[in-house]
Amino acid sequence: MKPNHAPTESRIESGDQDPHAGHDHAEGEHEGHTHGSSRAESISLVASGTLVGVGLIAEWLNLLEKKGVAALAVGGMVAGGWFLLPKAGRALLRFRPDINLLVVIAAVGASVIGEWIEASAVVFLFGVAEWLEGWADRRARRAVEALLEIAPKSATVNRGGNFIEVPVADVKPEEIVAVKSGMGIPLDGEVVRGESAVNQAPITGESVPVDKKSGDTVFAGTINGEGSLEIRVTKSAGDTTLAKIIRLVKEAQEQKAPTQRFVDLFARYYTPIVTLAALLVFLIPPLLMGGDWSQWLYKACVLLIIACPCALVISTPVSIVAGLTALAKRGVLVKGGAHLESIAKLKALAVDKTGTITEGKPKVQGVELIGKSVEKDVLRIAASIDAHSAHPLAVAIVQHAEKLGIAFPRAESYKNQSGRGAEGVVDGHPHFVGNHRFAHELGVCSEEIEQRLATIESRGHSVVVVGHRPHDGCKGEVLGIVAIGDTLRANAADAIRALHEAGVASVMMLSGDNQRTVDFIAKQVGIDDPRGDLLPDDKVGAVKALREKYGVVGMVGDGVNDAPAMATATVGIAMGVAGTDAAIETADIALMQDDLAQIAETIRLGRRTLAIIRFNIAFSLSLKLIFLVLTLLGYASLWLAIMADTGATLLVVANALRLLRTKSEAPVRPPSPARVFAR
């Protein structure tokens, strides 16, 4: 896998506490600021708005003299801007103008020419826009963090033969917890007693409850159905799958997407240029053309407010956070905005066969015997070697031998042949198990065996050739062929069709299985380019070729075995990784359930996110351009400028938050104890 995705940008460059909650990151320099989260600042804004409103009414109705109106305006500026001045001062000392400094200069300029109410309105409305930005950011983040509230804060634990209620944090792995019907499961674990349907929506996004019985895995934050369960805890509270999801989504939200880095870079140079332009607007007409100083100072102030890139700066981070959050609620973990943008631009996808297109639970379908071989002996030799391996085909053979009651030793001198098979010594003789390719390489394939292999492969089955390995001048021989079949996923064909509809030009299937089997499966589900007989290095080469042809490509695998190919792709996608720590940590995108259809949904939401970002940026820049022209022509006022800026911020935030609307059902909260016992 990509060992470590783009490192998380530091959030403490200048004492920052929230990289998205304020306009002061326009420069890319984060100032200490959590506006909108501080109760004191919220109260200050209310006070500021009240004073500005009273002053405005008093001025319109001539209820107060100019000094009285000015006093109200100054009070409004102090109440709404006390947190603004320190940041503006730091920006001035660094000679790095930012939005805070622009607003302060505009407010001071308006005050100098006697426009007190307009000056106070600038400060108040800027504060409102900033509060709105902080609220939008918290709204998007809160949607994921709310999942933690679903997990119970206490658990019923068996201690000394008695079930007692203890805080979840005090429960240790291996302890047994009881979960009543309708209650939330407190910790990850394995069912040891009872049966029930469990709503796993908070973890996997599945809306249909999943039946759980003894030996099955359950996750913290999921909801028990009508049955009663006893669960052996496997992870402490801080290490549950739900806690890991929350941490990873938070880290992802802090990483900047390419579009966001572009906007930050743009704002870094844009703000000083605008400050210089406003200074020239103020100085040149009066000095060179005899213009009125007050008039041109006013226009310069309007220019400063119009030029504030508030909406531009907030357009990307809020959209990215909302997109990541919406996907997390659907059971899709995207490791940062960069990967969300990549999946939105995906042109081609490579998929592993076993466990992706098929169920990944192959079973022995039959044994073809060669010569005078006996089926029991063939299975005994194969199981002896495969007992060393965790490969799905090896597991299928071992399970089949055990099911038939065949006793087998563990082979000695075991050696894995990557992408081919394995070798080992059984009963003092060297044997092998392997695929069609391996049999060819060993030189043990005859015309009869080729025909038998072709017949089995044409039915879509995988083949495992079992025989004596050539050694010490002995040619070796094939003893039998084990036919193994895997079931296609029920929605595989629909998922591939959905990928094409989502704009994926080519779907390639990569497999170490024989080409005939791969072709058979590909034809059934609609794969564009099936590739069989591949070694791990061949898969990497296939993904590289796909990248050269299409640019942005993805690779779907299990997050561990397909790591080289997934690392080669633009985006590595691991499927069905709920509870699998290694896969969750290593993939760029992790699908919490075994559902290939989630990829098409992820692509669509990624593209929707990118479209919203592009619209918001274009809208913000277009509005700035229009009002800059109006300002220079004398048609814009400070009121209009600040209302346009605040309005634009409101619109881009509302547009971004539309991403939080998902079609998935909201996670079901556990009922209250009163409801449970009332049953």
How far is C-alpha 188 from the chain's CA centre? 21
Would residue 352 show up in a list of annotated catalytic residues for this protein?
yes
Packing angle, helices 258-289 and 337-344, rounded to 10: 100
Question: Could you tell me where the DSSP H helices lie in 443-535?
Answer: 447-458, 492-501, 515-525
The span from the CA of 303 to the CA of 278, in Å, is 6
> What's the order of all strands across the beta sheet hosting 589-591?
332-334, 589-591, 571-575, 553-557, 348-352, 506-510, 529-531
The span from the CA of 587 to the CA of 584, in Å, is 6
Q: How many CB atoms lie within 10 A of CB 71?
A: 15
Q: Which amino acid is at 625?
A: L
Selected catalytic residue, list 352, 386, 533, 588 = 352
As given in the structure block, the two tokens for residue 408 are: 């087998």
Q: How many CB atoms lie within 10 A of CB 369?
A: 15
Is residue 656 within 8 A of residue 617, CB to CB? The reply is no
In the chain, the largest separation of any two C-alpha atoms, in whole Å, equals 114
As given in the structure block, the two tokens for residue 318 are: 């809020």
Is residue 479 within 8 A of residue 381, CB to CB? The reply is yes
The separation between the first and the last C-alpha atoms of the chain, rounded to the nearest angstrom, is: 50
The span from the CA of 370 to the CA of 449, in Å, is 8
- Buried b / exposed e across 88-109, counting CB within 10 Å, b at 16+? bebbeeeeebbbbbbbbbbbeb
The span from the CA of 369 to the CA of 477, in Å, is 12
Kind of pairing, strands 412-417 and 421-426? Answer: antiparallel
The span from the CA of 113 to the CA of 293, in Å, is 9
Is residue 109 within 8 A of residue 297, CB to CB? The reply is yes
Q: What are phi and psi of 122, to 5 degrees?
A: -60, -50
Look at phi and psi of residue 578 and say left if phi exceeds 0, alpha if psi is from -120 to 50, else beta: beta
Dihedral, CA of residue 191, residue 196, residue 202 and residue 205, to nearest 10:
110
The span from the CA of 419 to the CA of 206, in Å, is 34
Q: Which of 523, 470, 601, 508 is nearest to 206 (CA)?
A: 601
**DSSP character at residue 353:** I
**DSSP character at residue 23:** G
Is residue 564 within 8 A of residue 539, CB to CB? The reply is yes
The span from the CA of 570 to the CA of 350, in Å, is 11
Dihedral, CA of residue 582, residue 585, residue 586 and residue 591, to nearest 10:
90
Residues in the chain, how many?
679
Q: Which amino acid is at 162?
A: N
Dihedral, CA of residue 314, residue 320, residue 322 and residue 328, to nearest 10:
-160
The span from the CA of 267 to the CA of 337, in Å, is 19
| Tokens 């009163």 sit on residue | 674
The span from the CA of 393 to the CA of 5, in Å, is 33
Catalytic residues: 352
